[in-house]
Amino acid sequence: MIITKAWWHLPLSRPHKEAVKAIVFRSMPFLFRNSRAYRNWHEAQQWSLQQDHIKSMDTDDRTNVNLWKGSDSIYQPEPVPVEPITTLAVIIHAFHFEIFQEIIEYFKNNSGATFKFYVTCPSELSDKITGFFNQAHYKFSLLVVENHGRDILPFLKILPQAFKDGAQVILKIHTKKSDHRLSGKLWRKDLYTKLLKEKAIKQALNILNKDHSVGLIGPRGHIVPMNLYYGANAKRIKNLSNAMGIESSQLPGLNFSAGSMFYARRQALMPLLNLGLLTENFEQEQGQKDGTVAHAVERVFAISTLAANLKLVDTLYNPEKRELNITKDHPFTQ
């Protein structure tokens, strides 16, 4: 724990930290081989070597390399509707009731769009949340779920209902605590401010209505490079990506939205939803900080967007300039 805190506060940028890590681990593997950090780093190195091998293979040999077991076929992208978007499906995973109330406060007197809420929660919160919505007269659907798969598995379970109801754009949000990080509360507040305020909602819908090539909008300052933030997830990311038709060689140049809160078009999420991930694909909760299927899918949302021939942008994206602001030194995941 002391070493971890010292590492977070080391006055180096993320790319420089990765360079230092590589030098230390390569020169003295015998000191670190039993540590989680070394195993994560080593897995990412092995993944890179496999990627180089796949690039050197003939096209026919590359087909179906390490496909995710749950996929039957690669999803074919569908066109984005041109009709203006005025309705937003707000999908909330509510694990902490007090933070759920904090989220809903942002929508009071918010005229940024017409909202319908889709909420997943453990059974012990279902009555409180149902009563809360009934008293507030909000439109909502509630799905009771087990504490399994973090916010990701519940999201994948309720997402088809939102799409069945006609949702074209969703806002994914959850009651993030990240108690294992000193900056957890600050991270949550920053995400909520950039995604949930009335001005932010209007801006997001404006982006989607003006630029039909945008599939996913993450909060400014939280779009990070995939190759600096694989963590312990490299192998799973590769397998899920291959199953969606994205070659491993495309991954190093990609970015993703850290924190798994964002706006997304239906079309951007369909390649991932098409994989048919099941409850049994997700590990049981044991307090894991990284390296689970849920952590991999957090990164794969952006890859699903690419598989749909759409792009990831941030909340301050300008459709006229079309530039993506990338944060290589994410202050909340040092």
- One DSSP character per residue, 75-134 reads PPP-PPP-SPP-EEEEEEE-SSHHHHHHHHHTTTT--SSEEEEEEEE-HHHHHHHHHHHH
Percent of the chain exceeding pLDDT 90 equals 54
pLDDT at 155: 97
pLDDT at 311: 96
pLDDT higher at 67 or 275: 275
Cα atoms in the 13 Å half-sphere on the side-chain side of 281: 21
For residues 289-309, give the mean pLDDT. Answer: 90
pLDDT at 56: 44
Asked if residue 315 lies in contact with residue 218, where contact means CB atoms within 8 angstroms, the answer is yes
pLDDT at 284: 84
> How do the domains of the chain map onto residue ranges?
1-334
Reply yes or no on whether the pLDDT at 185 is more than 70.
yes
Asked if residue 95 lies in contact with residue 147, where contact means CB atoms within 8 angstroms, the answer is yes
Q: Which of 50-59, 71-80, 228-237, 246-255 has the lowest mean pLDDT?
A: 50-59
Give the pLDDT band of residue 47 (cuts 50, 70, 90). very low
The pair of structure tokens assigned to 295 is: 């952590």
pLDDT higher at 27 or 210: 210
Reply yes or no on whether the pLDDT at 15 is more than 80.
no
Lookup result for tokens 């939205």: 257
Quick: pLDDT tens for 118-163: 999 999 999 999 999 999 889 999 999 999 998 999 999 999 999 9
The pair of structure tokens assigned to 212 is: 């039909």
pLDDT at 246: 93
